[in-house]
Each structure stands twice: as structure tokens, then as C-alpha cells.
Chains A and B, each alone.
Chain A
Amino acid sequence: MPPALLTTSLVNSIQIGSLYALMALGITLTFSVMKLPNFAHADYFTAGAYAALIVSLSGAQNPIAIMSAAFLVGALTALLSHLAVFKPLESREVSLYTLILASFAVGLIIRYILFTMADYFNLFDLRIGIPLQVLYREGFLILSNIFAWVVPTTIALVILLTLLLNATPLGREMRALANNINLARVIGIPVERVKNSTWLLVGGLAGVAGALWSLQTAVNPLMGWAAIISVFAAAILGGLSSFSGTIIGAYVVAFSENTVILFLNYSFGLDLAYKPAIPFIIIIAVLLIRPGGFTQLLKRGGKLQR
């Protein structure tokens, strides 16, 4: 495998892995706190990307403004789906499959609202108007301004999230819910408020991930759904309960999809069309061999971990 390709694919792995991480953390958080594997998560991401696109098309090129808009739209979409759909269903104590099905339906609705909107305003396959620039070049290593946005933002958000979870009252309350929701209720934690905050946080993260994604690739209504399998693979690798596990999982998935497949292509002639099979293989392998994901390796007890 030529070194130029290797370096580029590694840079891609890091960039895409960061975006996967932002999304997968949301899935892990939803699953830990709300006990819900939320397949609509993909579409909060897409909604965020479209918010970013629209803000940027309307003239604002300030990345902070773009990302705030994406956060806001993602957060509100998530909160709305909780209040309108998941909360009433949960209060009826429906089965987990009903909730999963409902999350599919929510995703479907968001996706096709976006389709209708994109169709009406001609917003298919557009990119945010920030031009691609090369910031750094050293031998084969080329880093773009997009890389410089994606990776530090991810790191900053992960640090913020970790702080929030471990050093704030809200974080403590979220962990209490993750451990035992009934106990949390008994000891007087405002469960509904904590849930609402979690939804806002989770949706916002997905929205920001969508905005960052739209810096590197054109936006379309299916982009979230296209990424969801990889993102679930990352969350499953993290055992759906650990932050560090999820982040490692995200980079592992991105690395497999970008670098490993190229390596296999060069060494064994494997067709690149099989790339989408990678997250599937990861999911199956993890679920069958080591259902706890990396978390079992990093085990420290407790439900929601760093």
C-alpha cells in the first residue's frame, strides 16, 4: 500500500472517527439513561446538517453560528421526539420492540420532512460554503481546514461532556438514572427534567456532528441513515455503556472502513464495494464474541462510565 494513500486514509479515519464518536456518544447516552436504542438518532444528525447548510446558505459563514444552529435544531428535534412520542409510550410501559419501532417511525418522519423541504427549496447534495483549504503539508501528510475544525471540536466536546457527566449535578443525576431509574425517582431526582436535558444534549451533539459532516461531504436527507450502521457498530463496540469504549469504538470503525479496506484492496484485491459490510461484521463479531464490547476490558463497575 503506497504511503501517500496510507497517510490520507489515516487522516480520514481520524476525521470520520471523530464524527462517528460524536454520534455514537449520543446513542450510548440515550441507551444508558433512557434504555432506548434510538434509530431516529441518525435523523437528528441530518436535521443538524440541514440547519447548518441553511444558515450558511443564508450568508452566515461564521462556523460558531453554523454549529450553534445545528446544535439547537438537533436538540429541539430530539426533545420533541421524546415529548411527543417516547415519553407517552414509556408511560404506558410498552415493550422495548414497540419503542424501537417508534424510533424508526420518528426517523422516517424526520427524514421525509427533510426530503420534502430539500425538494421544495432545491437543497439536495449541497455543501456548506466554507472552501476547502490545505492548512498543513509535510511529505504525504496533508491536513485541511476541515480536519482542523472537526478534530479539535470533537475533542473539546468530549472533554466538555466528560466534565458535565462527572462534575456537575446534572451529570450525577444522569448517572443515577442510568444506574437505576426507580431508585433515582425515590431519592428525589427530578427524573423528567433530567431526561429532557439528556435529550437536548444528545440531539445537540448529533446536530453538531451533522454540521461538521456537512463541511466535508454534501448534505442529503439520507446521510444520517447511511451512517447509522457504522455509528451503532461504534456504540456496540463500546458496550453501549462506556464513553471511552464508545470513542475507541468510533475510531476503530472509521479505521476499518477507511484504512483496513484499502489495505485489503491492495493486498488481496478485495472490492471496495464491500466497505459497508465492515460495520456489520464488527457488530456481529462483537455481539457474538464479546457482548460487552471494550467496556469489559475497561470495566470499572457502574452503568454509565467515562
Chain B
Amino acid sequence: MINIDIGATAIAILTLFGIYSLMAISLNLEYGIAGVPNFGQALFVSIGAYTAGITYTRVLPLLAGLESVHPCGPTMGQALQLRSEIMAAQPLAGFINLGLTFLIAAIVSGAVGFAVSYVTLRLKEEWFLALVLLVGGETVRIVVRGADDFICSHNGISGVAQPFYFLRDPHSSSLLFMLLCLALALVAYVYSQRLAHSPYGRMLKGLRENEDVTRGLGKGISLARAQIMLIGSAIAAVGGVLFALNTGFVNTNDYVVNLTLDIWVMVVLGGIGNNRGALLGAALIAILDRFTQVGAIALNMSGSEIEFNYVRFIAFGLILLLMLRYRPTGLLPESRLTTNAHDVVRRAIGASNQPPTPSRHRDGGHPKHQGGGAMRET
């Protein structure tokens, strides 16, 4: 039998929830609010992870006042030991390094997102953007894996320790790391909520619904789209840094299309265009992930020959298809976008007279409008 440590399990799930939330919020801003089909999410997450792989091996020793050791090849073990020693003995160097990692990852990833969005403006068909992002993500991964000195090609870099490693107590260090993940997720959530409920969010939703009309109403849509890609990509990269710290490992194999699809599952499950939905989706997938891991171990121990990890992907595919078909709005449908404007008008009307109850009726005649019935929420 397996013993499940409830405390450790809860910490693991909540940590994962925080990390997934960052990724899901990022995709929700890009696709849910602005309608940019980012099928290259794994790329932006991986930028964060690779940055961590580089800073923890090259920058950290310098911050600790020591000479860095080449992390790959014959000196691999030596470099790993150096990292552990610094992380254990010099928490300050570790924290400065972490801050730098976040900063560099967010800047690089944001810049890539911004640039991609601008380059692909020339694309003839909208879905080419999806293709470029998908293919770009896969290609970067393969090239990074092929390059020897970057993050040690196939081997990856292990021993990328959590920032609270110096506490020497796995329980409290992982608890603090969990709090860090949750805090960053909270910041991202509040930020994205404020963004969505602003005139900028309104413009992005306009862009999502009808690009041509939005341009015709005087909006510089290319810039608006590039900006949200910048923001979303930066958030994804922060999630990537945490992801790498959580697993303690940077390897290109983690950033395949399946990761992109995982993030899509979260957003589709929770509710496209709803930041709270992104959180819900992240929570559900974090729980599901944890239980698949436990289930896989249990199944293996019971002597079953079925590899549970494969079943996980089949289940994810089915969840996606079922949601798309039967509940395209997700578990938490998109809420109506509001700034303070609606309150202003409500109050102004209330002050002058009692508002007449609007009679709602439709006489059709808007063929461009698709799937509106499902999106409506009163």
C-alpha cells in the first residue's frame, strides 16, 4: 500500500495550482480575452525554464562570489554540488538570482511574444498565427535540445533548487515555495482582472469579436494585440521559472505540445475569457495531475501493465472534446465585461426616474453572429 501524506499532498497540489494558474491566466488573456490562438504556450513557459537553467548555473555562482563551473559534460557533478552548496549556505545570493531569473525570463519571453505578434501581422489567414506559434515552439525546443552548451542538450540540468532550500527542512521550504507560487498567481490574477475590466480589455474583446470593425473604429489593433502577447508571454515565463524550480529540473522534454494542450484544457475547462475560470481550470488539472501520479504508482504496484500516464493524455483529450462539444463556455462562463461605466449609467438613470423594464426580443437578422446563445449570461 502507499501512504499518502495529506499535508505534503496538499502542498504539492497547491504549488502546482499556483504554477498552472499563471499559465492559464496567460493563455486566457491572450486567447480568452484577445482571441489570439497561442498554440505555442509551451514555448513561452520554456523560456522561463531555460532562463532558470542558465541563471542557476552561470549567474548564481557569480552572485555568491565563486567561480562558475561548466554545468554540462564531465564537470556536471561538480557544478551540481556547487549549486547545492550555494543554495544551502547563501540564501541571499539565491534570492537575488531568483529575482533576476524572473526579470530576464519575463523580458525575453515578453519580447518574443511581442515580436511574434508583429511579424505574423503579415499572415494572410488568421490561423497561420496558430501554426507559426505551434511550429515555433517545437522548433525552439528541438534546437535547444540539440545545442550542447545551452542547457546540456539531452541531459538537461538537474538540481535547480527551490529558493527556500537553505531551510534544510523539506516541509517548511516547500511550504514557503507554495506560498510564493500562490502569491505570484494572486498578483497575476488581480492584474489580469483589472486589465480585463478596463477600456483596454474592452478593446481586446472587440478585437476578438470583429477585427475589421475594431480597426474601422479607430483602434490600432496590431499594437493592442502585440501588447497583450507581451503581457501574456511574460506571465507564462514566470510560470515557467516556477515550474522548473518545482521539478528541480530543466529539460526540453517537458515543453512539448502536450504542455500547451494541458494549458488549453485548463482554460477550456474553466471557461474561455473568464479569469476565475482559468483559476478553476488550473485547480482541477492540478488535482487531476496529482491523482494521476498517485494512481499510476498504485496501478503499477498492483501489477497492472497499463501505463497510467498514457491514460491521462487520453482523458485530457476526451475532456477537451467533451467540453468543446457540450459546454463550450466552460464551467464558469465568461462574465459580462464591465468598467465603472455601467454603474455610472445605472445610477444616473436611477436618479432621474425609474428605469423601464427593457423588453427583450429579437427578430434575427445578424448572420455574422455565431454561438451567441451559448455565450449569453444574464
Interface size of B as a range? 35 or more
- Enumerate chain B residues within 8 angstroms of A277, measured Cβ to Cβ: 139, 142-143
Residue on A nearest B137 in the bound complex, by CB:
A280
Taking a contact as CB atoms under 8 Å apart, the answer to whether A287 and B307 are in contact is no
Q: Measured between alpha carbons, how far is A92 from B325 in the docked complex, in Å?
A: 9
| Partner-binding segment picked from A13-21, A111-119, A151-159, A193-201 | A111-119
Complex Cα distance, B320 from A232, in Å, reads 23
Q: Contacts of A37 on B, CB cut-off 8 Å?
A: 127, 131
Cα(A287)–Cα(B132), bound, Å? 9
Complex CA–CA separation, A39 to B131 (angstroms):
10
Q: How far is the CB of A162 from chain B (nearest CB, A)?
A: 26
Output the nearest chain B residue to A278 by Cβ-Cβ distance.
B139
- The answer to whether B314 has its CB under 8 Å from any CB of chain A is yes
Q: B135–A102 contact, CB under 8 A?
A: no
Contact of A273 among B119, B128, B146, B264 (CB under 8 A): B146
Tell me if B261 counts as interface (CB < 8 A to partner A). yes
A contact face: mostly helix, strand, loop, or mixed: helix
Inter-chain CA distance A119–B314, complex, in Å, is: 14
Contacts of B134 in A (CB 8 A): 39
- A100 near B130: Cβ-Cβ < 8 Å: yes
**Contact flags (1/0) for A265-284 with B, using CB distance below 8 Å?**
00000010110110110011
Which B residue's beta carbon lies closest to that of A225? B257
Q: Measured between alpha carbons, how far is A101 from B41 in the docked complex, in Å? A: 13
Determine whether the beta carbon of B135 is less than 8 Å from that of A105: no
B190 interface hit (Cβ, 8 Å): no
Instruction: Give 1 or 0 for each of A90-124: 1 = CB within 8 Å of chain B CB.
Output: 00111111101110111011011101100110000
- Contact of B261 with A98 in the complex, beta carbons under 8 Å: no
Residue in A97, A111, A115 whose CB lies within 8 Å of B127: A97
List which A79-99 residues lie within 8 A (CB) of chain B: 85, 88-89, 92-98
Are the CB atoms of B127 and A100 closer together than 8 Å? yes
Determine which of A115, A271, A276 lies in contact with B310 in the assembled complex, contact meaning CB atoms within 8 Å.
Answer: A115
Interface string of A110-145 (1 = CB under 8 A from B): 011101100110000000000000000000000000
Question: Which residue of chain A is the closest to B312 with respect to CB atoms?
Answer: A112
Whether the pair B131, A88 counts as a contact (CB closer than 8 A) is no
Task: Determine whether the beta carbon of B123 is less than 8 Å from that of A288.
Answer: yes
A94 to B324: give the CA distance in the assembly, Å.
Answer: 9
What's the Cα separation between A229 and B123 when bound, in Å? 18
- The digit string for B237-278, where 1 denotes a CB below 8 A from any CB of A, is 000000000000000000001100100100010000000000
Cβ contact of A283, chosen from B31, B126, B131, cutoff 8 A: B131
**A116 touching B131 in the complex, CB below 8 Å, given contacts A109-B317, A229-B139, A274-B146:** no
State A236–B132 Cα separation when bound (angstroms).
11
CA A108 to CA B324, docked complex, whole Å: 15
Instruction: Quote the shortest CB–CB distance from B328 to chain A (angstroms).
Output: 7
Least CB separation from B305: chain A residue: A120
> In whole angstroms, how far apart are the Cα atoms of A89 and B323 in the complex?
11
Can you name 11 extra interface pairs (CB under 8 A) apart from A104-B261, A115-B313?
A: A39-B134, A95-B370, A96-B127, A97-B130, A100-B127, A101-B324, A105-B321, A116-B306, A116-B310, A273-B153, A283-B131
In order of increasing CB-CB distance, the 9 nearest A-B pairs are A273-B146, A109-B317, A291-B124, A280-B139, A276-B142, A105-B320, A108-B317, A112-B313, A105-B317
14 contacts between A and B (CB under 8 A): A96-B126, A104-B261, A115-B313, A225-B257, A229-B138, A236-B131, A273-B143, A274-B146, A279-B135, A280-B135, A280-B136, A283-B132, A284-B119, A288-B122
- Interface residues in chain B, defined as those with a beta carbon under 8 Å from any beta carbon in chain A: 31, 37, 39, 119-120, 122-128, 130-132, 134-136, 138-139, 142-143, 145-147, 153, 257-258, 261, 264, 268, 305-307, 310-311, 313-314, 316-318, 320-321, 324-325, 328, 370-371
